[in-house]
Amino acid sequence: MHRTSKFSLCCLAILLLPTGGRSIIDGTDAAPGEFPWIAGIVRRDVAAPGLVGGGTLIGDQWVLTAAHSVRDLPVSILEVWLGATALDDAASRQTRGVLAVYVHPDFETDNGTSVNDLALLLLDQPVTTIAPLGLLGNPGDLPVGEAVRVAGWGISEVGVVEPTNDLQRAGAEVISNASAAMTFGSVIEPVHLAAKDPAEIACPCVGDSGGPLVATISGTDRLVGLVSFGSLDCDPALPTVYTRVSSYLTWIGESLDLTSSPPGMILSGKGRAITNGGKAKVASGADFGELRRPGSRRTRSFAVSNAGVGLLTVRSVSLTGRAFSLRATPPSILGSGGDGTMRVTFDAPRKGKRHRGAVRLLTNDPATPLFLLRVEARVR
C-alpha cells in the first residue's frame, strides 16, 4: 500500500499572470471551444491580476468553484473572467464582478484536505452569450474507469509561482474511493471523487482549484467534479481528489432557483410607490421642497423593495444633478420580500433657482432593468 501524508490545497497563494507557459503538470493546450464555460477567478486588488483558481458557469449568473479558494475573500476584490482561453486576452474575455459568495454550510478543511469543498459565486450581470455547463444528475453514469478531463491555468512546475497564460487540459480516469483512500487515508468520503491520469503524466496543481472535471455522457459534456486537493508535490502518479458534484444537486439547485424567477423592484418615498421616470412629486418624497437659504441641506429616504419571487440584484446606482448627492445606496442583493434604503441629499447652492437631478438604478428586473427617480428642489 502506498500512503502519503503530504496533502495540498490546490490554491495556496495569489498567482501573478505570466506572459506564457503551461498549466496542469504536463498538460496540453485546450482546443478552441473545448471548455467554453470555464471561468478564471481573479483578484483585482493587486498590482497585476492574481489568479485565485478556476470555476464553471452553471447558470447565467452563477459560477461554481472550490470553497477553499474564495471563502475568506471579500466580494469587492473578486472578478470572474469568461469567454477566453488566454488570460491576457482582454479583448475576447467577458468580465463580471461578484455580488455574493455562497460557501457550502458544511465545508471543512484540515491539514490540506477538504470536504464539501464548493462555493457558488453570484455574478453582478448575467452571461447571455455562453451556454452554462450541465451537471451530472445520475452518479451511475460515472463508473470507475470512465474517461474524464480537467482544465485550468494553474502552475506547470512545482515551486513556480506563476500560472500559465494559455488554458491547459489533461485526461484522466475515474478511480474508486477505496483506491484513493490507499493514498489519502480515512479523509476520503462518499462526497469525494478521485481520478488520475492512467499514464501518470499529467496532474492538476496550484492554481487549478475549483476547476472543472468533465465527462462526456451520451455525447453531452457534464460537470462531474471540482478540483479540491491532491499530493503536495502534484505527483501525477497519485490521484487528485475532486468534489463530487452529484452529491450536491439539491444545494446547488436551491441557489440557482434564486435567479430562475423574476424579481419585482418597487421604489417608494413617504410610503408611496414612485413611478419609473415620473416627475418629482411632493407625495412621493422626490420633491425636496423649498429651502430658504444657500448652504442649507435636506435629505430624503427612499425604500427599495423586492416584490418578486426571484433575487433582485442592484448592479449600480448613479446620480446626476450638481446639488444632489447619494448618502446611502440600497443593498446590492435583495431576496423576495426584502427591502433596503436609499438616501439622497440636496445641498442648496444659491437663491432663486430650481434644481433637478436623477437617480438611476440598474437592476436585473426584466420588467424594469433601469429605474429612473427624478428629484428636484428650490432655493429662495
Q: How far apart are CA 221 and CA 87, in angstroms?
A: 23
Domains: count for the chain? 2
- CA neighbours within 13 Å on the CB side: how many for 302? 31
pLDDT tens-place string over residues 109-138: 998 899 999 999 999 989 999 999 999 999
- Cα–Cα distances in Å, from 96 out to 40, 41, 42, 78, 174? 11, 10, 11, 9, 33
CB 70 within 8 Å of CB 100: no
Q: Which of 8, 156, 209, 284 is catalytic?
A: 209
Same domain (yes/no): 165, 240: yes
Helix (H/G/I), strand (E/B), else coil: 271: coil
Residue 293 in this model has a pLDDT that exceeds 90:
no
Domain closes at, from 219, 237, 257: 257
Same domain (yes/no): 284, 177: no
Domain closes at, from 197, 228, 257: 257
191 DSSP 8-state letter: T
- CA neighbours within 13 Å on the CB side: how many for 39? 35
Same domain (yes/no): 215, 274: no
Same domain (yes/no): 97, 204: yes
Residue 10 in this model has a pLDDT that exceeds 60:
no
pLDDT tens-place string over residues 200-239: 999 999 899 999 999 999 999 999 999 999 988 899 999 9
Judge whether 117 counts as a catalytic residue.
yes
What pLDDT is stored for residue 14 in this prediction?
40
193 within a domain of the structure (yes/no): yes
Q: Give the residues across from 81 on adjacent strands.
A: 40, 95
Q: Which of 8, 68, 69, 197 is catalytic?
A: 68
Q: What are the helix (H) ranges across 57-155? A: 67-70
Same domain (yes/no): 82, 173: yes
Its sign, for the CA torsion 76, 306, 320, 345, is negative
Judge whether 208 counts as a catalytic residue.
no
Q: How far apart are CA 149 and CA 173, in angstroms?
A: 8
1 within a domain of the structure (yes/no): no
Same domain (yes/no): 186, 80: yes
CB 53 within 8 Å of CB 43: no
144 within a domain of the structure (yes/no): yes
Judge whether 287 counts as a catalytic residue.
no
Same domain (yes/no): 80, 126: yes
pLDDT tens-place string over residues 323-342: 999 999 999 999 999 999 99
> Which class for 373: exposed (0-12), middle (13-18), buried (19 or more C-beta within 10 A)?
buried
Same domain (yes/no): 230, 105: yes
Same domain (yes/no): 83, 169: yes
Same domain (yes/no): 269, 251: no
Instruction: Print the domain residue range for 100.
Output: 7-257
Same domain (yes/no): 236, 374: no
190 within a domain of the structure (yes/no): yes
Which grid cell sits at 149? Answer: 478531463
Domain closes at, from 223, 257, 291: 257
pLDDT tens-place string over residues 230-259: 988 899 999 999 999 999 999 999 999 999
- Cα–Cα distances in Å, from 137 out to 144, 222, 257? 16, 9, 17
Q: Which of 26, 117, 208, 235 is catalytic?
A: 117
Q: How far apart are CA 310 and CA 327, in angstroms?
A: 27
Helix (H/G/I), strand (E/B), else coil: 78: strand
pTM: 0.86
2 within a domain of the structure (yes/no): no
Average pLDDT over residues 152-169: 80
